[in-house]
């Protein structure tokens, strides 16, 4: 049976009408699953019995089965491992940020878009697992639904826009390689009659699929774009990011320029710092010259080491020196706050550990 979250509203309306159920009942169903967060069709008291019976005969609610949930020692980060209908495993991360004088209190959900990943970035645990399949829209959307249910219990009050919920497509997989479903999921998150998460609170990341960046620029949804660049030149980048051989840095930067021109929105560049690989002053200088012409923000990220990678994180002195060079070019930058290291919160790490234990 198909998850209710895999269906668009217009498709559900057609299904209802074909089953002899009034089409307006879909609005009540939509409210129940996306706003009230009903976990079971029997919980929905606004629908007639024939609608409930129809739904139970042909649909399930969540396509996710929780395998394990871990909480970091500082209680700021939760890592979820889910099993899908075909026994495949995916991960989701919830990160809590309290008000710090610069930004207000917020909650960020990092979601997966694929089972595994085909792009084989050398420092990424997910890339080391290979690619299994695309996630459906329902499998993407349900990650946020399930975590929002947990937040409702935890917060003890309605979890609404005042709580500043952010969604980042930065979990397992390359979101733009699952393009149509990623876009549909983003629209579902943004739906004012559903989860009602602001488009500017949704970030879609890519390791650099140039044609899809250009497609995203034409979409009528004002989400954020994050580009995992990780090196300032082709030789260095190709060593850790194989897709660079298909879409080298010049093409990637030109696509970002076009994206900015069309959308008038900044691009967020992600740069994982690897000791001795991409963290020298020379690399910083090249990166500064590369990004200076762009309306952008740079996130510097200490890598989460993985079992199958020889790369280790740059030390704090190197990271600070790197950022000082970036500052000289007038590029806004942030050193990413580390969260969940003690629970393997990095992309793909918990799944790798689980597979190792099960094997």
Which active-site residues does the annotation give?
91, 347
Phi, psi values for residue 146, rounded to 5°: -65, -40
Give the strand pairing for 65-71 and 131-134.
unpaired
The runs of H, that is alpha helices, within 156-298 are 179-190, 210-217, 234-240, 249-263, 281-291
Report the C-alpha gap between 113 and 177 in whole angstroms.
9
Give the strand pairing for 296-302 and 267-273.
parallel
Q: Of all residues in the chain, what percent are helix, strand and coil, respectively (each to 5)?
A: 40, 20, 35
Report the C-alpha gap between 355 and 332 in whole angstroms.
39
Answer for the pair 127, 117: CB distance below 8 angstroms, yes or no: yes
Report the C-alpha gap between 175 and 248 in whole angstroms.
19
**In this structure, how many other beta carbons lie within 10 angstroms of the beta carbon of residue 243?**
22
Answer for the pair 95, 77: CB distance below 8 angstroms, yes or no: yes
Residue that is written with structure tokens 């994206």 in the block:
259
Q: Which of 217, 244, 331 is nearest to 285 (CA)?
A: 331
* DSSP code per residue over 279-342: -SHHHHHHHHHHHTTS-EEEEEEE----TT----BPPHHHHHHHHHHHHHTT--EEEPPP--GG
Report the C-alpha gap between 263 and 51 in whole angstroms.
42
- CA distances to 12, 53, 64, 117 from 59, in Å: 11, 10, 13, 28
The token pair at 16 is 């209802």
């Amino acid at each position: 049976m198909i998850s209710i979250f895999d269906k668009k509203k217009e498709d559900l309306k057609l299904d209802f009408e074909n089953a002899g159920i009034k089409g307006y009942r879909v609005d009540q169903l939509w409210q129940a699953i996306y706003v009230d967060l009903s976990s079971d069709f029997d919980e929905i008291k606004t629908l007639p019995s024939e609608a409930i019976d129809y739904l139970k005969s042909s649909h399930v609610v969540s396509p996710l089965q929780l395998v394990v949930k871990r909480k970091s020692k500082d209680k700021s980060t939760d890592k979820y491992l889910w099993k899908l209908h075909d026994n495949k495993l995916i991960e989701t991360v919830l990160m809590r940020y309290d008000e710090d004088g610069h930004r207000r209190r917020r909650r960020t959900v990092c979601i997966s878009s694929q089972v595994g990943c085909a792009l084989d970035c050398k420092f990424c645990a997910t890339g080391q697992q290979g690619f299994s399949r695309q996630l459906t829209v329902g499998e993407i959307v349900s990650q946020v639904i399930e975590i929002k249910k947990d937040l409702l219990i935890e917060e003890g009050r309605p979890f609404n826009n005042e709580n500043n919920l952010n969604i980042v497509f930065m979990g397992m997989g390359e979101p733009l390689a699952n393009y149509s479903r990623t876009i549909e999921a983003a629209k579902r998150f943004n739906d004012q009659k559903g989860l009602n998460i602001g488009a500017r609170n949704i970030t879609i990341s890519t390791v650099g699929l140039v044609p899809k960046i250009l497609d995203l620029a034409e979409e009528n949804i004002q989400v954020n774009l994050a580009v995992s660049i990780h090196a300032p030149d082709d030789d260095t980048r190709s060593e850790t990011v194989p897709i660079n051989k298909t879409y080298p840095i010049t093409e990637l930067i030109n696509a970002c320029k076009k994206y900015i021109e069309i959308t008038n929105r900044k691009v967020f560049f992600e740069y994982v710092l690897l000791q001795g690989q991409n963290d020298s002053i020379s690399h910083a200088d090249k990166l500064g010259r590369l990004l200076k012409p762009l309306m952008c923000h740079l996130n510097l990220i200490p890598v989460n080491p993985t079992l199958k990678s020889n790369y280790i994180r740059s030390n704090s002195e190197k990271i600070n020196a790197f950022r000082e060079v970036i500052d000289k070019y007038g590029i806004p930058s942030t050193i990413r706050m580390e969260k969940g290291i003690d629970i393997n919160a990095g992309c793909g790490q918990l799944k790798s550990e689980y597979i190792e234990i099960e094997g």
